[in-house]
Amino acid sequence: MMKRPARNKAKGFTLIEMTLALAMTLGIAATLIGLIQQQVSFVGLISRFKFLRDEAPQINTLMTTIINKADSYRIYANLTNAKGLTGAIQTGGRALRLRLQNPDGTTSHAIISFETQNGKYRLNYYNLNYGETTWPTTPSWTISSSPSMVNFDNSSGVLLITMTGPNGDEITYAGNPD
C-alpha cells in the first residue's frame, strides 16, 4: 500500500474569524467608553445640584421650625439694622428678626441673617434671650454656609425666603409664623 503524505493540520483561526473577533471587541469597547462617559457626565450633573438635593431640604426643615415658633417677624436690610430695629423693609432684606413667645409669657428675639464672615457667605442665627439687652457679636450658630444669596421678602403679604445655591440654583420657601 502506498502511503499518502500527511497533511499539515495547523490549528488557528482564519482571517475572516480574526476580523470578526476584532470588530466585536472594538464594538464592545466603544460601547463601554460611551457608558463610562455618560456615567461621568451624570455624576457631574448630580453634584452640581448638591445644594438643592442635600442641603435645601434640611434648611427648609430648620427654617420652618424656627419661623413657626415666632409670633411676628420683620425684615431688615442687614444685621445691624435688625439689631437696632431701624429701617424695616418689605423686600430685598438680608436679615429677618423674629419675636418668640416663651411659655412663661416673656418674649425672646432671634435674627436670621445672611452675611459675609471671613470672606465666606453664611446664613447665621442670633439669639437674644429674655432679660438680655445686648445682642451677641458672633452668631449662636450657622444655619448654612452653602447659599451664595438669601433674600427675605414680604411684598405679597407672605414671607418668601429665596436662596441661591453656589451654582446659581434657586429655591424659594414660603410661610408665615403662627
Band (pLDDT 50/70/90 cuts) for residue 175 is: confident
Q: How far is CA 127 from CA 62, 65, 91, 112, 151, in A?
A: 15, 15, 23, 9, 20
Q: Which of 144, 122, 126, 164 is nearest to 59 (CA)?
A: 144
Q: Is residue 97 exposed (0-12), middle (13-18) or buried (19+ Cβ within 10 Å)?
A: buried
Q: What are the domain boundaries of the chain?
A: 18-47, 49-175
Please state, in angstroms and rounded to a whole number, the distance separating the CA atoms of residues 163 and 171.
5
Q: What are phi and psi of 78, to 5 degrees?
A: -160, 175
Q: Do the Cβ atoms of 148 and 162 come closer than 8 Å?
A: no
User: What predicted TM-score, i.e. pTM, was given to this entire model?
Assistant: 0.74
pLDDT tops 90 at residue 27: yes
pLDDT tops 80 at residue 147: yes
Q: In which element (H, E) is residue 108 found?
A: strand 107-117
Q: Do the Cβ atoms of 49 and 146 come closer than 8 Å?
A: no
Q: What is the pLDDT of residues 73-104, one digit of tens each?
A: 999 999 999 999 999 999 999 999 999 988 88
Question: Lowest-pLDDT range, 106-110, 127-131, 145-149?
Answer: 127-131
Q: What is the pLDDT of residues 31-45, one digit of tens each?
A: 999 999 999 999 888
pLDDT for position 73:
92
Q: What is the pLDDT of residues 107-118, one digit of tens each?
A: 899 999 999 988
Mean pLDDT of 146-158: 91
Alpha helices for 70-134 (secondary structure H): 79-84
Q: How many CB atoms lie within 10 A of CB 98?
A: 21
